[in-house]
Structure 1
Amino acid sequence: MSGLSEDFRLPVACPGCGSHLMRVSQVKNPDDVVHCASCGKAVCLWHEAQTVIRQGPGSESEALIEAAVNRRG
C-alpha cells in the first residue's frame, strides 16, 4: 500500500500503538480506511479523519507538529 498511499498526522493517536502518523490511499475517497503507519491498525475512515483535522489540534505544540508533518497537503 505504500506506493499508492500518503502519510499524514492526526491529532488523535492510534489506539493500538499511540502513533499519530496515519496512512490513506492517494485517492482519498470518503470511505477509504485510514491505517496507522506504524502498526497498520485500521483507525477510522477518511471522512472521519477529515473531520478531526478540521477540528484542529488540541494544543499549540500539536499544531506546530501537524503543520510540519502535513505541509505537503
Structure 2
Amino acid sequence: MPDLSTDFRLPVACPNCGSHRMRVSQVKNPDDKVFCASCRRYVCLYHEAETVLQQGPGSDSEALIEKAANSPSD
C-alpha cells in the first residue's frame, strides 16, 4: 500500500527529538495533524505549519536548507 503522507522541513524543530523533518497527509487540509517524521510526535496542525513556513527561516543558512529540503523531487 502506498504511503499517503508527505514529508517537509520546518524551521522549528520537534520539541521531543529536535528533528526538523515533519510529516502530513498528502491532502494537506488546514486541520490535518503534522507529526515529526523521526519520533512521530504530534507537532501542530497544518495551517499552523503553513504560517511558520510563510514567516520564513530565521537565517540565510536556514533558508538554504529550507529551499533544498522543501523543493519538489523530480
TM bracket (short chain): over 0.9
- Counterpart CA distance in 2 for 1:29 and 1:10 is 17
Kindly tell me the number of residue pairs found equivalent between the two proteins. 72
**Identity across aligned pairs (percent)?**
72
- Give how far 1:31 is off: 0.3
The structure with the largest alpha-carbon Rg is 2
Structure 2, unmatched stretches of 5+, are none
- Give how far 1:14 is off: 0.2
Q: Tell me the amino acid that sits aligned with residue 54 of structure 2.
A: R
The structure 1 segments of at least 4 consecutive aligned residues displaced by more than 6 Å after TM superposition are none
SS in 2 for 1:6: strand
When normalised by structure 1's length, the TM-score is 0.95
SS in 1 for 2:67: helix
- Give how far 1:35 is off: 0.2
- Give how far 1:61 is off: 0.5
Structure 1, unmatched stretches of 5+, are none
Aligned to 1:49: 49
1:15 counterpart = 2:21: no
Residue-by-residue CA offset, 1:24-73 (whole Å, 9 max, x unaligned): 00000000000000000000000000000000001000000010010018
